[in-house]
Amino acid sequence: MSDFEPSDCPFCSLPVERILEANAQALAIADGFPVSAGHTLIIPRRHVVSFFELTEEETIDVYKLLCRMKNRLDATLEPAGYNIGINVGTVAGQTVKHVHFHLIPRYSGDVAEPVGGVRNIIPGKGRY
C-alpha cells in the first residue's frame, strides 16, 4: 500500500471534459504524456494502487472499456498494433499511485525494431 491518499490523486479528481468514455467501474482518458498518437489510459473509478487490488467486477469493466477504446482507435487512427501495460510498484515505473492501464497504439515504423515488445523495458532482454 501507499501513503498516497485519494485527495492527492490526479485520477480521483479528473475534470469531466477529460473523460473520453466511461462505464460503471472505469473511465478512459487521453494520456497527458502520450508515447504515440491515441495513447489512452483506462482508470478504475475506485482508488486502489495495484492491479492486484481490483475486484473481479472492476477488472471486467476495465476490460470492456479497454476493448471499446481499442475499437474507437481502430476506427479513427487505424494503428497496426497495440501494447497494453500496467505498472505495479515504483520499481516497475508506477508514478501515479492509482492503478491505470496504458493502451498504446503502435504504427508501422514507429520504432526501428519492435521485436520483443514489452520485454524491452529491461535493456538487452527484448531479443530472444
Q: Give the range among 39-43, 71-75, 76-80, 118-122 with minimum mean pLDDT.
A: 118-122
Q: Say if residues 69 and 40 touch (Cβ distance below 8 Å).
A: yes
Return the H-helix or E-strand segment holding 73. helix 56-76
pTM, whole model, 2 decimals? 0.92
Q: Which amino acid is at 44?
A: P
CA distance linking residue 108 with residue 22, whole number of Å: 29
Catalytic, 47? Answer no
Out of 3.30.428.10, 1.10.10.10, 3.10.20.30, 3.40.1010.10, which CATH number does the structure's domain 6-121 have? Answer: 3.30.428.10
- pLDDT tens column, 71-98: 999 999 999 999 999 999 999 999 999 9
Q: Say if residues 87 and 99 touch (Cβ distance below 8 Å).
A: no
**Mean pLDDT computed over 7-13:** 91
Give the number of residues written for the chain. Answer: 128
Share of the chain above pLDDT 70, in %: 96
pLDDT of amino acid 1: 35
Q: Which of 39, 47, 100, 102 is catalytic?
A: 100
Query: Domain map of the chain by residue range?
Result: 6-121
